[in-house]
Amino acid sequence: MPDTPPHRTLFTAKSLTKSFGEVRVLSNIDLQVNQGEVLALLGENGAGKSTLVKLIGGYETVSGGLLHLANEAGELRPLNSDTWKHATAEAQGVILIHQELNLAEQLNAVENIFLGNEIRRGPFLDKHRMLELTREYLSILDCDIDPLVPVAQLSVSVKQMIEIAKAYAKNSRLLILDEPTAVLTAKESEALFQLIDRLTEQGVAIVYISHKLDEIERIADRVVVLRDGELVGDYDAKTLTKDDMARLMVGRELTNLFPVATPPNATSEVVLELKKGAVPGLISNASFQLRAGEILGFAGLVGSGRTALMEAIIGLHQFSKSSELLIRGKSVSFSSLAAARDAGIAYLTKDRKGSGLLLGMSLPINFSLFSLHKFSNGLINTKKEQEAFSEAVDTFEIRLKDLSISAGNLSGGNQQKLLLAKVMAAEPSIIIVDEPTRGIDIGTKSQIYHFIANLAEKGHSIIMVSSDMMEVIGLSHRVAVMCRGQLVGILEGEQKQEHEIMRYAAGLESQLTQEGEKASA
Amino acid sequence: MPEIKITRSIDLKTAGPFVALIALFILGAFVNDAFLSSGNLSNILARSSFIGIVAIGATFVITAGGIDLSVGSMAAFISGCMILIMNSLMDKIESLPVLILIAIFASALIGAAAGCINGLLTTKAKIEAFIVTLGTMGIYRSLITYMADGGTLSLNFTVGDVYSEVYYGTLLGVPYPVWVFLCVAIIGYVLLNKTVFGRHCFAIGSNEKVALYSAIHVDRVKTMTYILQGICVSIATIIYVPRLGSASGQTGVLWELEAIAAVIIGGTMLKGGYGRIWGTVVGALILTLIGNILNLTDMISNYLNGAVQGIIVIAAVYLQRGAWRKRAPT
Amino acid sequence: MNFHLGRLKLLTPSILAAVFGLSIIASASAQTIGVSIPAATHGWAGGLNFHAEETKKRLEAANPGMKIVLLTANSASEQANDLEDLVAIHQIDALVVLPFESAPLTGPVRNVKRRGIFVTVVDRGLSEEGIEDVYVAGNNAELGQVSAKYIKERLSSGGNIVILRGIPTVIDEQRFDAFIEEIEGSNVIVLDDKHANWNRDDGFTVMQDFLARFPKIDAVWAQDDDIAIGVIQAVRQARRQDELFIVGGGGMKDIVKRVMDGDKLTPVDVLYPPSMIATAMELTALKFLSNAPINGDYILGSPLITQDNAEDYYFPESPF
């Protein structure tokens, strides 16, 4: 055991609040982190975990509340929230390793690990010493690479290990890891856990974010659960099972925000079927059917391959040869988005600003862009275009005093409605919506749910990719769950429960093995 | 019913180049009486037609977010090809008009092919347009110098005499090149503003990703803009060759920059997403006017010509950006 | 062989004999001559390159063992690099150089000379005296002077002229200043002068504007034959070919042909031969082939080409 007694408080947060503009993402968080312990942060996507650790690491400024950090003597001292930047934080031993890797790609492992923290001998760099230390760190992490090649040539998982070595080199007191194992193999993860054990023995405190519940069971001492920006519980890890954790993350009543669309019956036509969908490097196995009038939800963690799968269906990625996509029973393969559109399939992107709307252009131009061929017989019929736009403004309740502004000046909600109008102008029968309500207010959300339900009632088929559990469960007839590039299960009826979905999404449960056995039988 | 309106800032862009053009006209008339003579005005129009036609092509490329630096060398190369074709077929084809038509057809073909190469290298090989066209610029420039043996290719006088009508002839008192310029501008205007293709150019130049997700064939449309540019260069060449009946390593030097300048003066955005054909036409006229006015006066030292041109180009763009309106109380 | 004789008329007869006589005598000595000239970016330089290539072929064929390395440059700095390569890689014994620009190349040529290499400078003199062993040049001032004299005589009772100048450089300056000096005091009025950059298109454009601006022009000094070609087209377009004449410069075959045919629009031309590079190369080769004294300045004249003597200056094979 180390000299310093464990469980002495290293860091505390009191009534911590964070708002972006008028949107409050964290409210009244009280948190305590002790020396030598691993604190796991649990929560759904968007619960506020990443924001919380960014506040602690000095990457975001605190909107309200107090932070305290122990000094060398172990006395808690308040931090000035205005000057708490990541450089100050790192100098004090508080280090955050991001989800997104942060390495200088053209530099090698040694240079990255000691970047901004170089060891000098006189005015010169002590390259020999740095190389020696790098080798030592990498061997602790069981990472057998040449530390002198540019990191650009290394795999993502090795880069992650270098990030961790870099944090280790900085003599951290509080190390925050935001989903570090998302890109690591099982073996690499195990090396990381051993390093964590070693660090905690030395009295270092770890804050650990992961969706992989078995990992949390393996390393966490304490579990703190966040939900919708609030801290809902602080538990001793020993008292929790993985199922408990999944339930705690969700723990919410569904409201009647959601209209009920009549579910399709067994005789409804299968409009889209994917058999053994696979895209090299993105999707390994996804099979499902979509019926006329059905709303099929797609749940899963960020990076589970949902968007990639949808983009493959509309022709942006190529399926591998063994896959088969059937539209109304006919095998198809779209070479472009236009081909998919002409077959009646439309995709509504989750990235409104980046790939949905031309922000500098007028609303009618945005509206007609996806279906411009319909307004043209050689020349664009602007009168027809204008009439269709006016109609869409009514249908989709785009409420604006001035319709001559450009799309970039619309609110998020109106942008989403415009995007929906744009896609619907092509009169598709199958509509794939990806995160349709991300970042918009509850009122507009409700409107959009009603549009979607209405479309289904009229016989359109809808695939809704969403990370918002409430809407996936509330609106969908069935929920397909993806995990690591696989469609691991389709839940309906009683099974369509949040903790159940979470178990599939986290990889604890899968319908695939049974089917695999069936197939081989 | 809501109107399709483009935002205010774009209205200013419409006015700016015209203000500059009118200012230059007033200046020209003030500098020399000969400026407003019909002979001089027709000279200006005919002269601007080369850069103007090339710039109309460039308007498409730039609106769709690309750039083509190869147009000047391409013009020289196509001129050289036309002259070689006509000179070598002289003995084989008796009818000179047929011979000239063959050369014109070949010119269009070479222009379209050259544009297609630029387009495919940009879209399929994923090389930046700047680098692709910088490369082809050097290639065509060397090819013409090689074809002319470092000297000048001259069109056979017999063919030249017949062909020269294309540049020097007039219809209703207006030189043919001006009619060609006008036709290309009208077609360009309709294509850019009234068709799906034009709208797609705007979309791609604004945000390629949005265009892709809007089911637009981004690569195809971008390649088409380069092909259009190549065809415009070939049209410019078809009326350029009969003027002097020669092509050399010096032909079309810096046309690319003049064309791009005309496009930008006209209000098209260099970063893409917004283009104006009539602006480009005005831009080409402005550039020609500057040279013409400087030639009509000896008030300014010859050595300062470049400086005057630079100042006027910057002033024209300043007007076009509407910065001057912001200062005025509204 | 007539071809060479015609060109070499410019030299003094004794030198002519020496060059002609000796260059065909095979020599056992192995010598390398480096030739560095600007690339063929315009007509005159095209002619320069043509004559350099021709002379290289001829000298190498006539003198087994003699090697001529010909490098062309697109800029002064490229030419400076070429000079270093000639010394270091090709180990030249003699250098013939037509400097891109005088000042920036004075240093590099001096460095070559310091290695004990025989240096012949062509056309554009270096900024410092005494570096080169041989200097071969046309006479820019004389070109201006001869042109002015002709125009002055043709318009002895008075007249208006316009001048189209080249690219603003020392060469253009020398030609222009000498012209003005000669024309001063005569009855000839210079209406205006503009730069047409030794280029056909600019010649055409500038002349169009002169024609629009000045209702009465009696003569045009185009200074260069490329410019003159553009001027001719502009004048024809304006249908004013009967009221004026044009004096070009250089000796381009197209213009010389017109002079020869008695074209009233271009009654004369003034020589500034790109073949001076051949003179320089022959002289340099002679250094190794004979004991005849070579060192010194060879200034080639800029004679007036008229219908009577045009045939002597007409080389249909040349690109210029």
pLDDT in 10s for each residue of chain A, 521 residues: 444 444 688 899 999 998 876 667 788 899 999 999 999 998 766 678 888 998 998 888 888 888 899 887 778 888 887 888 888 888 888 988 876 677 888 888 888 888 877 888 888 888 888 898 898 888 888 778 888 888 888 877 788 888 888 888 888 889 999 888 876 777 788 888 988 898 888 889 999 988 777 788 889 999 999 887 888 888 998 888 877 887 777 665 444 567 877 788 778 889 999 999 999 988 999 999 999 999 999 998 877 888 999 999 999 999 999 999 999 989 999 989 999 999 999 999 988 888 899 988 899 999 999 999 889 888 999 899 999 999 999 888 887 767 778 888 777 778 889 999 999 999 999 999 998 887 676 667 778 888 999 899 998 999 999 887 878 888 999 999 998 888 999 998 888 888 888 888 888 888 876 544 433 33
Domain B8-323 has CATH 1.10.3470: yes
> Do residue C119 and residue C163 come from a single domain?
no
Cross-chain residue pair B246–C200, CB shorter than 8 Å: yes
Cross-chain residue pair B250–C238, CB shorter than 8 Å: no
The torsion region of residue A492 among left (phi > 0), alpha (psi -120 to 50) and beta comes to: beta
Chain C residue at shortest CA distance from B243 = C233
Cross-chain residue pair A361–B1, CB shorter than 8 Å: no
- Sorted by where each starts, the structural domains of chain A and their CATH numbers stand as 9-250 (3.40.50.300), 270-520 (3.40.50.300)
B271 in contact with chain A, both atoms CB, cutoff 8 A: no
Q: Which residues of B touch C237 (CB under 8 A)?
A: 168
The contact set of B with C (CB < 8 A) is 32, 34-35, 37, 39-40, 43, 47, 145, 148-152, 154, 168, 243-244, 246, 248-251, 291-292, 294-296, 298, 302-303, 305
Residue B77's contacts (CB-CB under 8 Å, 6 or more residues apart) are B110, B114, B140, B141, B143, B144, B147
| pLDDT of the residue at A441 | 66
Cα→Cα distances C22→A231, C9, C56, Å? 103, 17, 15
Residue C56's contacts (CB-CB under 8 Å, 6 or more residues apart) are C35, C68, C70, C281
> Do residue C133 and residue C279 come from a single domain?
yes
Tell which residue, A493, A435, A478, A485, has the closest CA to residue A288. A478
In a domain, C319, yes or no: no
What part of C 106-145 touches B (C-beta under 8 Å)? none
In this prediction, residue B7 has a pLDDT band, given cuts at 50, 70 and 90, of very low
> Do residue C247 and residue C283 come from a single domain?
no
Range(s) of the domain holding residue C216? 140-270
- Chains in touch with C (3+ beta-carbon pairs under 8 Å) read B
CB A445 within 8 Å of CB A468: no
In a domain, C320, yes or no: no
In a domain, C39, yes or no: yes
Residue C116's contacts (CB-CB under 8 Å, 6 or more residues apart) are none
CATH of the domain at C108: 3.40.50.2300
Residue C138 structure tokens: 């046309």
| pLDDT of the residue at C29 | 52
Residue A380's contacts (CB-CB under 8 Å, 6 or more residues apart) are A372, B194, B195, B196, B199
Q: Which range among A182-196, B18-32, B33-47, B127-141 has the greatest average pLDDT?
A: B127-141
What part of B 147-206 touches A (C-beta under 8 Å)? 190, 194-196, 199-200, 202-203, 206
Which parts of chain C sit beneath pLDDT 70?
A: 1-29, 41
In this prediction, residue B107 has a pLDDT band, given cuts at 50, 70 and 90, of very high
> Do residue C177 and residue C126 come from a single domain?
no
In this prediction, residue B253 has a pLDDT band, given cuts at 50, 70 and 90, of confident
Please report, for chain B, the start and end positions of each structural domain, with discontinuous segments joined by +: 8-323
Q: Residue B22 pLDDT > 60, yes or no?
A: yes
Q: Residue B75 pLDDT > 80, yes or no?
A: yes
3-state secondary structure of A292: coil
| pLDDT of the residue at A7 | 63
> Do residue C97 and residue C6 come from a single domain?
yes
Amino acid at A279: V
> Do residue C8 and residue C85 come from a single domain?
yes
State percent of chain B over pLDDT 70: 93
> Do residue C27 and residue C102 come from a single domain?
yes
| pLDDT of the residue at B119 | 95
- Chains in touch with A (3+ beta-carbon pairs under 8 Å) read B
Cross-chain residue pair B250–C229, CB shorter than 8 Å: no
| pLDDT of the residue at A23 | 67
Cα→Cα distances C36→C61, C74, C126, Å? 20, 11, 14
3-state secondary structure of B268: coil
CB C35 within 8 Å of CB C67: no
How many folded domains does chain C comprise? 2
In a domain, C70, yes or no: yes
**Phi and psi, residue C274, nearest 5°:** -65, -15
> Do residue C263 and residue C278 come from a single domain?
no
| pLDDT of the residue at B148 | 83
| pLDDT of the residue at C128 | 79
| pLDDT of the residue at A39 | 94
Distance in Å from the first CA to the final CA of chain C? 19
Tell which residue, B265, B256, B257, has the closest CA to residue B314. B265
pTM exceeds 0.80: no
Q: What is the pLDDT of residues C97-147, one digit of tens each?
A: 988 877 888 888 888 888 889 999 988 878 777 888 888 888 888 899 999
Q: Name the minimum distance, in Å, from the CA of C167 to any CA of chain B.
A: 10
Look up the ipTM and state it: 0.81
In this prediction, residue B319 has a pLDDT band, given cuts at 50, 70 and 90, of confident
| pLDDT of the residue at B259 | 93
Cross-chain residue pair A340–B215, CB shorter than 8 Å: yes
For A369, which of B195, B203, B273 is closest by C-beta distance?
Answer: B203
Residue A19 structure tokens: 């708002």
Amino acid at C207: M
